[in-house]
């Protein structure tokens, strides 16, 4: 069933239209048109073609404006045989032509994951040489399949718990399962990944003199007693609970990072990432945003854990990638919180997701089979009660602050999953 074309107009927190992401800062220009990025993850009927965009900034952009459909391979679902046909790409999305002095060799561990794949899109479009290392435990080749075969791109199946040798200028070290059900599935492997993986990648950074950025997490603050959380807060973590493999793993990864900085002069960056959502989150990921959207789209009841009074602050993926690139290219070597300060109780958030799913369904003329209810299930052990980032440091040091409203981000993510449902892959 083909949906009617729905041009998406995305407004930022001040009500201005968002037509590009990235920025020109610290002598580093990383602005990319949103239309180009969307052409890599949203299905064609949701993508506004360049011709439809009347906004001036795009016309002046140094990136070529173009239509959308041809940069994703088609996946055609055959319901009778429950099979899927993939097509190959005939043309890659255009990438900037950089002189060798500016072009960087960038390693992204976990580059086939949710965050990694969006970072890879950005770095590729900006014209860098990108190597993805991933063991595909939670990542998926499909997230970056639109770059496979591109001369600037390389993908290696490798587990970071084993050493990896390559020449590179920058390392974004993201490899680690991040969803509570996934990282608790094999707790020993999770902490091993955090420790051994970070040790190996820091060793590589030391040898190559590459700048090293680690994706740390708000989970290092545990169930915080300080609200909102600043980078100076030492945290409140249960070292033997079921979340410890991730929380303590990331804490020790930070310890290693600053150990290599002090002892070996490695140039390090630490991003403490707060709850982030967006397209390409695995629908079976188990985290709250993907669970709620998929449940509401399928007409299933939405599962709130506990009484739903616990809070989280949700950031859209493009803001996070902006923050990570800003951090990598800044002089800030202290930890930096990257997150959105808009805090919701999980109960309120369930209602917001339901409302947005219904809005998109109404716009596309989808008839709902039943009304979705919110049901309550037991709260997981050690689930943090309140979480909101203090992002003063990011604002001052990186001149970064989130632009996407939760509503705008959710709407785009709903469209992404809805298109996947229609093509049969959800």
Ligand X SMILES: O=c1ccn([C@@H]2O[C@H](COP(=O)(O)OP(=O)(O)O[C@H]3OC[C@@H](O)[C@H](O)[C@H]3O)[C@@H](O)[C@H]2O)c(=O)[nH]1
Considering beta carbons, is residue 79 or 378 the nearer one to ligand X?
378
Which of these, 159, 112, 104, lies nearest to 129 by C-alpha position? 104
Catalytic residue among 46, 246, 416, 417: 246
Stretch that binds ligand X, among 29-37, 61-69, 298-306, 363-371 (CB under 6 A): 298-306
Examine residue 110 and tell whether it contacts ligand X (CB under 6 A): no
Considering beta carbons, is residue 130 or 178 the nearer one to ligand X?
178
Interface residue with ligand X, options 287, 388, 393, 415 (CB under 6 A): 287
Under 8 Å between Cβ of 96 and 127: yes
Segment 315-374, which members bind ligand X (CB under 6 A)? 346
Examine residue 118 and tell whether it contacts ligand X (CB under 6 A): no
- Residue by residue, DSSP assigns 54-115 as --HHHHH-SSPP--SGGGS--EEEETTTTEEEE---SSPPP-----TTT--EEEEETTTSHH
Interface residue with ligand X, options 106, 178, 297, 353 (CB under 6 A): 178
Interface residue with ligand X, options 180, 222, 323, 409 (CB under 6 A): 180
Phi-psi region of 295 (alpha: psi -120 to 50; beta: other; left: phi over 0): alpha
Shortest reach from residue 211's CB to ligand X, in Å: 22
Strands 75-78 and 24-25: unpaired
Give the whole-angstrom CA distance, residue 280 versus residue 115. Answer: 9
Examine residue 288 and tell whether it contacts ligand X (CB under 6 A): yes
Considering beta carbons, is residue 117 or 218 the nearer one to ligand X?
218
Shortest reach from residue 288's CB to ligand X, in Å: 4
Stretch that binds ligand X, among 67-75, 79-87, 190-198, 375-383 (CB under 6 A): 375-383
The CA–CA distances, whole Å, from 277 to 88, 171, 178, 193, 281 equal 28, 23, 12, 23, 7
Which residues are paired to 373 by β-bridges?
A: none
Burial 252-261 (b: 16+ CB within 10 A, else e): bbbebbeebb
Stretch that binds ligand X, among 94-102, 198-206, 320-328, 378-386 (CB under 6 A): 378-386
Considering beta carbons, is residue 320 or 326 the nearer one to ligand X?
320
Instruction: List Cβ neighbours of 361 (8 Å cut-off, separation of 6 or more).
Output: 297, 368, 418
Give the whole-angstrom CA distance, residue 223 versus residue 278. Answer: 24
Stretch that binds ligand X, among 33-41, 61-69, 285-293, 321-329 (CB under 6 A): 285-293
Interface residue with ligand X, options 383, 397, 422, 426 (CB under 6 A): 383
Shortest reach from residue 283's CB to ligand X, in Å: 12
Considering beta carbons, is residue 129 or 219 the nearer one to ligand X?
219
Give the whole-angstrom CA distance, residue 300 versus residue 353. Answer: 13
Under 8 Å between Cβ of 140 and 132: no
Segment 205-234, which members bind ligand X (CB under 6 A)? 217-219
Shortest reach from residue 219's CB to ligand X, in Å: 5
Give the whole-angstrom CA distance, residue 111 versus residue 118. Answer: 8
Angle at the Cα of 233 from the Cα atoms of 390 and 328, rounded to 5 degrees: 60
Shortest reach from residue 28's CB to ligand X, in Å: 26
Q: Is residue 258 among the annotated active site residues?
A: no
Examine residue 261 and tell whether it contacts ligand X (CB under 6 A): no
Examine residue 303 and tell whether it contacts ligand X (CB under 6 A): yes
Segment 144-163, which members bind ligand X (CB under 6 A)? none
The phi, psi pair for 172, rounded to 5°, reads -100, 110
Shortest reach from residue 384's CB to ligand X, in Å: 6
Under 8 Å between Cβ of 68 and 93: no
Shortest reach from residue 383's CB to ligand X, in Å: 5
Question: Which secondary structure element, helix H or strand E, spans residue 320, and what is its range?
Answer: helix 317-328
Active site residues: 246
Per CB under 6 A, residues contacting ligand X are 178-180, 217-219, 246, 275, 287-288, 291, 303-305, 310, 312, 346, 379-380, 383
């Amino acid at each position: 069933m083909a949906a009617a074309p729905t041009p998406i107009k995305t407004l930022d927190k001040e009500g201005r239209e968002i037509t590009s992401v990235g920025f020109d800062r610290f002598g580093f220009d990383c602005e990319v048109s949103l239309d180009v990025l969307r052409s890599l993850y949203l299905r064609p009927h949701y993508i506004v073609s360049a011709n439809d965009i009347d906004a001036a900034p795009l016309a002046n952009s140094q990136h070529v404006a173009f239509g959308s459909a041809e940069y994703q391979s088609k996946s055609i679902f055959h319901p009778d045989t429950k099979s899927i046909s993939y097509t190959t790409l005939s043309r890659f999305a255009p990438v900037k032509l950089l002189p060798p002095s500016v072009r960087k060799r960038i390693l992204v561990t976990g580059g086939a994951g949710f965050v990694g794949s969006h970072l890879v899109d950005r770095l590729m479009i900006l014209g860098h040489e990108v190597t993805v290392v991933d063991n595909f435990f939670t990542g998926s080749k499909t997230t970056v399949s639109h770059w496979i075969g591109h001369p600037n791109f390389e993908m290696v199946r490798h587990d970071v718990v084993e050493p990896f040798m390559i020449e590179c200028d920058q390392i974004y070290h993201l490899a680690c399962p991040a969803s509570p059900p996934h990282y608790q599935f094999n707790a020993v492997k999770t902490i091993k990944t955090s420790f051994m993986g970070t040790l190996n990648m820091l060793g590589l950074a030391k040898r190559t003199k590459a700048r090293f950025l680690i994706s740390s997490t708000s989970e290092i603050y545990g169930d915080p007693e300080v609200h909102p959380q600043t980078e100076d807060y030492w945290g409140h973590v249960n070292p033997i609970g079921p979340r410890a493999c991730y929380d303590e793993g990331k804490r020790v990864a930070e310890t290693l990072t600053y150990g290599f900085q002090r002892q070996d002069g490695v140039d390090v960056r630490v991003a403490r990432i707060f709850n982030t959502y967006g397209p390409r989150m695995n629908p079976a990921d188990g985290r709250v945003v993907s669970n709620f959207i998929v449940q509401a789209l399928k007409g299933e009841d939405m599962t709130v854990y506990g009484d739903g009074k616990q809070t989280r602050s949700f950031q859209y993926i493009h803001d996070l990638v902006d923050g990570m690139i800003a951090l990598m290219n800044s002089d800030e070597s202290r930890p930096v919180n990257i997150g959105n300060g808009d805090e919701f109780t999980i109960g309120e958030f369930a209602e917001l997701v339901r409302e947005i799913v219904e809005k998109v369904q109404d716009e596309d003329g989808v008839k709902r089979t039943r009304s979705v209810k919110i049901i309550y299930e037991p709260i997981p052990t050690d689930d943090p009660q309140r979480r909101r980032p203090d992002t003063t440091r990011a604002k001052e040091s990186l001149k970064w602050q989130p632009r996407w409203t939760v509503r705008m981000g959710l709407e785009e993510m709903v469209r992404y999953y809805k298109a996947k449902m229609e093509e049969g892959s959800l």
